[in-house]
Amino acid sequence: MEDLLRPIYQERAGDANTLGIVIIEKTKPNSPVTDNFDVILLIIVKENENAWQEKHYEFDDKTAAMHTVTEKLLMEWIDTSGYRKAIEWIVNGKVLFDRNEYISQLKEQLREFPVEKRDLRKAMEFGKLVKSYSEVKDLYALKQYKDSYSRMVNCLHYLARLAVIEKGYYPEVTLWTQVKQIDPEVYKLYDELTQSNEAIDERVHLMIIAVDFAISTRANVSAKHLLDIMKAKAEAWSYGELKQNKKVEPYKLDLTAILGFLTEKGLLSAERIETKGKGVYQRKYRVKK
């Protein structure tokens, strides 16, 4: 298969703009990693008019997809989990072209998963987790049990991703297979929710209790990225100040949920600041010592 695609990727390898080329082949009949294509070609370039281009090919009853991605967009995907499959392509793919060991160094970086990037990813997943968990509780209180069940599945998905990142790995497309090996306790929660014979409302009720404990015990570590930012100045932070901080940009949409949860659990204190309105106070947040 590689031989048939050689004329296509060799042309790209000869371009000074190309940093590296990786190929990954489908190994199972159903392959979410390759979008069910028989082969994926990932071409990383310094710059391009379009940050991400995709072309499809057909040959000998086989199919292939070629993704041309700029280095900038690829790094965004890696840092924010924007397109998880690309990470698996790099980690597990075969290198066809590697300018100045660019791919080799990238593979090593992905294996190491630097602490600062890990802290950011934990904060991002933590934000999605607490927001989803809040939605579960609201729906359950309204007796919308099927909807609360559906949101709980999503909630456990975020918890699983967080558990994987805590262990120093990037979450894979086949997440639950990964979690079963890395964190059996989180996998057990998912199993209990989906496989139990209890009524849906009872399953969700029990899971709300279990997930609250799981989130609470992780809160300090998972929110470290945000807590470190807040500790950088002595004064309390307004919501607007935090939202405008560039370091918070990747999870600013979930910032309200994070602040609310951390305050509820006693990791943050909420201070009232007088405004011109009588009896109206602005709320500011400070990390508890």
**pLDDT tens, 133-189?**
999 999 999 999 999 999 999 999 999 999 999 998 888 877 898 999 999 999 999
- Tell me the pLDDT band of 1, cut-offs 50, 70 and 90: low
In percent, how much of the chain has pLDDT > 90?
73
User: What is the rounded average pLDDT for all residues in the chain?
Assistant: 92
Poorest-confidence range of 81-90, 195-204, 222-231? Answer: 81-90
How many whole angstroms separate alpha carbon 78 and alpha carbon 146?
34
Q: Which of 19-23, 67-71, 79-83, 246-250 has the lowest mean pLDDT?
A: 79-83
Rg (CA), the chain: 23
Q: How far apart are CA 166 and CA 124, in angstroms?
A: 12
Q: pLDDT band for position 79 (50/70/90)?
A: confident
**Judging by DSSP bridges, how do beta strands 281-287 and 268-274 pair with one another?**
antiparallel
- CATH architecture for segment(s) 2-112: 2-Layer Sandwich (3.30)
What is the model's pLDDT at position 87? 87
In CATH terms, the fold of domain 115-287 is Four Helix Bundle (Hemerythrin (Met), subunit A) (1.20.120)
- Write out pLDDT tens, residues 87-136: 889 988 999 999 999 999 999 988 888 888 899 999 999 999 999 999 99
Could you tell me where the DSSP H helices lie in the chain?
2-13, 71-80, 84-92, 102-112, 115-141, 145-166, 175-182, 184-195, 200-222, 224-231, 239-244, 255-264
Please state the rounded mean pLDDT for residues 238-256: 95
Q: Which amino acid is at 114?
A: P
Lowest-confidence range among 109-113, 204-208, 238-242? 109-113
Over residues 195-221, the mean pLDDT reads 95
In angstroms, the CA 23 to CA 279 distance is 64
SS3 146: helix
Token pair belonging to 96: 């066809």
Residue range(s) of every CATH 1.20.120.330 domain in the chain: 115-287
Please name every residue paired with 268 in a beta bridge, in sequence order, or none if there are none: 287
For residue 6, the model assigns a pLDDT of 81
Range 228-241 burial, b when 16+ CB lie within 10 A, else e: ebbeeeeebbeeee
The ranges of the chain annotated as CATH 3.30.460.10 are 2-112
Residue 81 scores a pLDDT above 80: no
Residues making up the chain, counted from first to last: 289
Q: pLDDT tens-digit profile of 13-59?
A: 889 999 999 999 988 888 888 999 999 999 999 999 999 999 999 98
